[in-house]
Structure 1
Amino acid sequence: MPDSSDAARSGSISELKEQQNLVRTPNLQDPGYIRQKANAKLWVRERLTALLDKDSFVEVGSVTGKPVYDEETGALKSFVPANSVTGFGRINGLKVFVTADDFSVRGGHADGGIQMKAPYGELQARKARVPLIRLLDGSSGGGSVATYLTMGATYIPGLAGLGRSMDTMAVVPVASALLGPVVGLAAAKAVLGHFSVMVKGLSQLFAAGPPVVKQATFEDLSKEELGGWEIHAQNGSVDNVATTEQDAFNQIARFLSYLPSSIFALPPITSCTDPPTRREEQLISIIPKRRARPYDVRQLICLVVDTSSPVDDAITSTFFEIGATWGRCIVTGFARLSGRPIGILTSDCLVNGGMSSGGGAIDALGSQKSARFVNLCDHFGLPLLNLVDLPGFAIGSIAERSATIRHGATALSALYNATIPIYTVVIRRAFGVAGGAFADPEDGAGIRVAWPSGDWGSLPLEGGVEAAYKRQLNAAGSPEAREKLMNDLLDKFESVRSPMKTANKFGVEEIIDPRDTRPLACEWVEHVYEHILPQLLTYKQSRFGLDSKPTSGRGYRL
């Protein structure tokens, strides 16, 4: 006869499968599901399918929720799941942990959640040393006044797991996709990460939604007016913008492809068919002879870094830009040299400046963007290719009102304190404090070369002459005489302006043929990955004691 315990186990397994089936099968009549589809949004499990490798999702907390049983028969009638789906999965073979909001259950509010499920997922990502991906849609377990009635009391709000979020950021890459209205707690999570992406027309970000704002400030705003992508993609609250949910998932996958799984591993090296010795003739003429003329710095980047294998007869660069819509005077992103991931830091001369200065002056947002990106690369051990063309800090009343020098100092500090190797190429200008900090970020200890188009000094020559010879210029008898004197002075300085003069005095270590930039940078990065990064990794492992697992200053375990 079968053992009664066997029958009990069989019944338990049957009940488990029944609950899992209810949770994982969409209820087409459910108002929350209908609302999700009416807003042209994917259901939470459709998102997991679109994000992860096929059949790779291993759920954690699959039957977390509230089962409803028939009082007479005891049969399972329905199941209200927690509004957070969590588990391990893979993206292009890379193991990750995902916490995904289910907006169809109470719009993601706390009274539809199970306490600490999402924070537990963040803990698992940190302990497993795998990247964490958040799919944010709703308040992600944040506050709802309806909870007060359920509890029979109000409460002093706590961090609601945000402490674990910050602990996780210290160890593994954290990426967030904003896939709907992201409010309160979820808004904090969106910015407590290393990469975030919004979807045009689908997602919004705000500390409090329109009803709360209307009561507090009397502003009657739509969700888009309050926190749409056009606002937060330009102020730096989010890094990138996507056109569809799938585009957002693809961007997260690409972002993670450059990073190690944790701070205790090296960035992943991939095979590369692009020869490290490739020399591009276009680099000879990409910087205009007239110093104030602009050029396309992104084209310059793509000529230097690895190209991907041809797809549909099109060769694409490995450059993945981060933050293209904010702090636009600075260009940042990831790329590969000889298959090895690197960070790219440079400026865009098409932004912040007219034809007289050539543009590219670094402003407050550009400074914030630089500091954030350098710190990201330093945290995960990505060496930095630093292409310098910087006329200095932005000046004028707007620059002063936005505290440019304060934010600029943060960028300078990030560069100076970075422990990662930096390969600096001065491709054109390096003026003032900002130019000096970017052109010599390691205070003489790093590798630096320059192109023959180099132009540097304490001040740009035209503005410097205006300041140094102001009295003589103002004493000229007429505008024509003033202009002639100005041109005569500029001609005098032109003879000492050549970068060769600086090289003669070892003021710049080496001037190179621009076509040699890729071969030299590839040789540098190969050496870095073989000899320098492993040493930095060993130091990091010994510092944090992987074997003994000591706690950090805050008391959490790495």
Structure 2
Amino acid sequence: MSNRRPPDPSGNKKGWQPEIDDLRQREQFAKELGGADKIERQKKGGRLTVRQRIDALIDKESFREIGTIAGRATYDADNKLQTFTPSNRVMGRAMVGGRPVIVTGDDFTVRGGSADATIPTKAIYAEQMANEFQLPIIRVIEGSGGGGSVKTIETTGRANLPGGLGESSRWYEYATDNLATVPVVGLGLGSVAGLGAALLTASHYSVIVKSMSAVFVAGPPVVARIGEKSDLGKQELGGWGIQCSAGAVDDAVDTEEQAFAQARKFLSYLPNSVHDVSPRGPRTDPPTRREDSLFTAVPRDRTQPYKMRPIIEAIVDKGSFFEMGKWFGRGIITGLARADGVPVAVMAGDSFHQGGSWTADVCDKVIRFVDLAETFHLPILYLVDCPGFAIGLDAEKAATIRHGVRAMAAVNQSTVPWCSIMVRNAFGVAGVVHKPAGRMAMRYAWPSAWWGSLPLEGGIEAAYRADLDAADDPKAKMAEIEDRLNALRSPLRSAEAFWIEEMLDPRDTRKIVCEFANLAMPLRKPGRASFGMRP
């Protein structure tokens, strides 16, 4: 038998090497981003490049880039490639924690991430791929996010009509629909303005870096034209302290690496999409673990605040609590955790902030968090300490009652399993919102629980005015009435009437919560919620 190869009938002895060489050259140009000088400026600003960010975010060597050589090229008279400037967006598929995700990032070294160097289809493609392949999407944002700039008018010869006809409107469609379909994470790593700011906040979880990130609708030069301080700095206008306390951004960290770690951890609690449920995590923490610290965690003095976060940490699986939005609506603590490995959504009152009363901000935080749990089928654990809605002139000016009723509607519309532990206060209309109305919720009360239509403070004067006015010693009469009423307000009295289902030794709370999580597991129903989540 002859070892001679038959002649190539196509006559293509070299194969396609010239084209592959051309492709590799363009890929090399793309990896050079905006050029050495722009990369050096990014480095001097203490910021990673977009490719460094993606590499640090994802599982090692898992990035499958899409649209690598999309950009703008120039050619010589012989139609040979002379220069190539890549699009200022890098995107593709990758693995994070062993699961597939979509990653899309701004390249600030090319026209500062603005529209002048953008191919809009790349951003749309990433959003569409996440939506239709039902994969989480992580947006790495620095710049204006590809929105129009003043210079765009000259480069295109016309003014852009925001949201007009054409391809760009599809981004808004997918950005909205993805919030109801897949987990969305926004990382703001530098100056983030305009559409970039919208991209960041149109997410389920957003993070910025304290020392270098600033987020705003418009930057200082534009703001100065409306009469604001002309010397207003980026941090003064949109630094982390402003945006996190306002609730526009969920979290702030010290370094980019910490931001990537936060993104990875957040996704670990969620399914790939609403068409699945969250996987169970490791079961390394015994459900029967008892924490003696819980027995004395709540002081007998009802006016004394106490630390709720150690209580949460003692109840859920060790090290699993992932807090979200800690600087906004501080009367309530929200975050994700695991109980016997099962991902759960945790809410808890924080008495260190206006006694845990529900301000307008607290109500908005509750709405968004309950909607997140509903969207991704997470059972809710609520450690209740709510003395009622915030009261007073500022509360009325903030329309607290309207925000409160919206929070009540969000809770009542939820369908996920719900467990409430009555830790201390539950008063008034806000106290009603400790469980969804009209459906089953597991409820337990600690001996420290304390509830009623309204607190005694201030209420006795109104309800017993005639008795107090007729008394020889109004102060003594007040004390007598207060003692009499307090004797009737023991949670054990409520349990006698089955107004609370079960009293609980605080040290047994973890066991109860783990039982709830295991009962809730088979009740989680994959599929879209009856409404789409709004950021």
Which bracket does the TM-score occupy, shorter chain normalised? over 0.9
Aligned residue number for residue 315 of structure 2: 304
Mapping of residues 67-466 of structure 1, within 5 Å: 67-71=73-77, 74-158=79-163, 160=168, 161-220=171-230, 221-307=232-318, 317-352=319-354, 359-438=355-434, 440-443=435-438, 445-466=440-461
Q: CA deviation at 1:472?
A: 4.0
1:51 and 2:54 matched: no
Secondary structure of 1:216's match?
A: coil
1:462, 1:490 within 8 Å by CA — same for their partners in 2?
no
| Paired AA for residue 386 in structure 1 | Y
Residue in structure 1 matched with residue 44 of structure 2 by the alignment:
38
Aligned residue for 1:312? none
Preserved CA contact (<8 Å) 1:162 1:189: no
Task: Output the CA distance in 1 between the equivalents of 2:241 and 2:471.
Answer: 50
The question of whether the paired residues in 2 share the 8 Å contact of 1:412 and 1:437 is answered with yes
Distance change in 2, residues 1:6/1:449 (3 Å):
farther
Larger RCO, structures 1/2 (Cα 8 Å, 6+ apart) = 2
Distance 1:441 1:467, change over 3 A: farther
Shift of 1:370: 0.7
Cα distance in structure 1, aligned partners of 2:432 and 2:471: 34
1:447 Cα offset (Å)? 1.4
Q: Distance in 2 between matches of 1:184 and 1:153?
A: 19
* Distance in 1 separating the partners of 2:11 and 2:248: 59
Report SS of the residue matched to 2:226. Answer: helix
- Match of 1:459, SS? coil
C-alpha separation in 2, matches of 1:7 and 1:400: 79
Q: CA deviation at 1:58?
A: 0.3
Amino acid at match of 1:331: I
Deviation digits for residues 316-365 of structure 1 (CA, Å, limit 9, x no counterpart) = x210000011111110000000111000011100111xxxxxx1111011
User: What's 1:21 paired with?
Assistant: 28
Matches of 1:473 and 1:247, distance apart in 2? 60
Letter in 2 for 1:46: Q
> Which moved further from structure 2: 292-301 or 160-169?
160-169
Aligned partners of 2:229, 2:148: CA distance in 1, in Å? 22
Distance (Å, rounded) in 1 between the aligned partners of 2:365 and 2:36: 46
Q: Which runs of 4+ in 1 moved over 6 A?
A: none
**Alignment-derived partner of residue 523 in structure 2:** 532
1:260 Cα deviation (Å)?
0.5
Task: Verify the 8 A CA contact 1:97 1:121 in the aligned structure 2.
Answer: yes
Partner Cα separation in structure 2 for residue 190 and residue 112 of structure 1: 20
TM-superposed CA distance for 1:27, in Å, is 6.5
Q: Hey, what does 1:485 align to over in structure 2?
A: 477
1:75-95 residue CA offsets vs partner (Å, 9 max, x unmatched) = 433320101100011111121
Between the aligned partners of 1:144 and 1:11, the Cα distance in structure 2 is 39
Q: Note closer, same or farther for the CA distance 1:286–1:8 as it changes in structure 2 (3 Å cut).
A: same
1:314 — aligned with what? none
d(CA) in 2 for partners of 1:242, 1:210: 23
1:219 Cα deviation after fit: 3.3
Distance in 2 separating the partners of 1:510 and 1:393: 26
- Give the TM-score normalised by the residue count of structure 1: 0.89
Deviations 1:5-56 (A, max 9, x none): 56462222111111112212457633x3232122111011000111011000
| Aligned mates of 1:13, 1:148 — CA distance in 2 | 37
1:313 matched residue in structure 2: none
- Secondary structure of 2:366's match? helix
Give how far 1:462 is off: 2.3
How far apart are the structure 2 equivalents of 1:152 and 1:494?
75
Which residue of the other structure, out of 479, 497, 505, is the alignment partner of 1:505? Answer: 497
**TM-score with structure 2 length normalisation?**
0.93
